[in-house]
Structure 1
Amino acid sequence: MSITLGQPVPDFTATATGDTQLTLSELRGKQVVVYFYPKASTPGCTTEGGDFRDNKTAFDAANTVIIGVSRDGIRAQENFKAKQDFNFPLISDKEESICQLFGVIKLKKLYGKEHLGIERSTFLIDVDGKLAKEWRGVKVKGHVAEVLEAAQALHAGE
């Protein structure tokens, strides 16, 4: 099962930082950015999360919620969020159910060894819960600005 542009994103509930359960359908009426990153507290993921953190006010103005997702356990997510002062929830998806839903688990190569891991990806969901835009195989530099631009354009067009 995979999600398709213009189609409703299937609902999910997941454990998030702050000892909360986050349910996608409860965010209807707001745009949602769901971004997947390979591993908490690594350089690229820290930079990307920091870019989202630093632009949160602009995302808020565009009626857009930010959610970060990785396979890290909830304790690692809590530490990452606290250390980087992230102002949005991080989801622990150890079972990979959300990763599978969005199709972000890919065969990757690291130091000549192959392993399954998260392909850095971002998804923009509209106020009705439909997938509006997706970015796969993301390069961190300039990415959040591009996502913000898309969120603002979508918000302005509503």
Structure 2
Amino acid sequence: MPKLPDFSAAITGEPATFRPADLNGDKLILYFYPKDNTPGCTTEAMQFRDLHAQFQAAGCRIIGVSRDSLRSHEGFRKKLELPFHLISDPDESLCLQFGVMKLKKMYGKEVRGIERSTFLFGPDGVLLREWRGVRVPGHVEEVLQAAQA
């Protein structure tokens, strides 16, 4: 996927729909995470929150994506005071476009879920860098360095 696909998705805040055309020349960090209010996802969201001003200074918009409902996302954003928005992808259409749905082992069982992944797109929509199978410690700082480069 060398270029950001055109799509329309339900997002927290106003307007209630996100399209890549709305970026107006900003870089985009699209990060996919398994579930609101789980330990790793909470830590990752807080790290993006804590470095948000530096991402903005680098001309970057941050958007998180999971299969959770908009209602769940709104609660998650409020609780963590996230300054960026979250896309609800309950039918997995965006997850499938980005190839982040994987079979994972959880408590000894195989379950289908989102593989934590981050994509950095330039102002022209071209994919600059992708991270798949992300481990949270140190990840957000690495994304920031790439965004600033």
Q: What is the TM-score of this pair, normalised by structure 1?
A: 0.91
Residue from 83, 88, 98 that aligns with 2:94: 98
Q: For 2:18 and 2:81, locate their aligned partners in 1 and report how far apart those are by CA, in whole Å.
A: 19
Structure 2, unaligned runs of 5 or more: none
Residue from 123, 138, 141 that aligns with 2:134: 138
Alignment of 1:63 onto 2:74 = no
In the TM superposition, residue 25 of structure 1 has moved relative to its aligned partner by 2.0
Q: For 1:28 and 1:136, locate their aligned partners in 2 and report how far apart those are by CA, in whole Å.
A: 26
Aligned twin of 1:22: 18
Percent of aligned positions that are identical? 56
Q: Is the 8 A contact 1:28 1:129 kept in 2?
A: no
Alignment of 1:125 onto 2:138 = no
Indicate the SS of the match to 1:66: strand
Moved over 3 A (4+): none
Task: Name which of structure 1's ranges 18-27 and 47-56 shifts more when overlaid on structure 2.
Answer: 18-27
Q: For 2:113 and 2:77, locate their aligned partners in 1 and report how far apart those are by CA, in whole Å.
A: 21
Indicate the SS of the match to 1:140: coil
Q: For 1:49 and 1:61, locate their aligned partners in 2 and report how far apart those are by CA, in whole Å.
A: 18
Aligned twin of 1:10: 5
Q: For 1:119 and 1:28, locate their aligned partners in 2 and report how far apart those are by CA, in whole Å.
A: 29
Q: For 2:3 and 2:104, locate their aligned partners in 1 and report how far apart those are by CA, in whole Å.
A: 29
Q: For 1:45 and 1:119, locate their aligned partners in 2 and report how far apart those are by CA, in whole Å.
A: 11
Indicate the SS of the match to 1:116: strand
In the TM superposition, residue 28 of structure 1 has moved relative to its aligned partner by 4.1
Alignment of 1:88 onto 2:87 = no
Q: How many residues in Structure 1 have an aligned counterpart in Structure 2?
A: 148
Structure 1, unaligned runs of 5 or more: 154-158
Q: Is the 8 A contact 1:28 1:128 kept in 2?
A: no
Q: Is the 8 A contact 1:93 1:99 kept in 2?
A: yes
Alignment of 1:33 onto 2:29 = yes
Q: What is the TM-score of this pair, normalised by structure 2?
A: 0.97
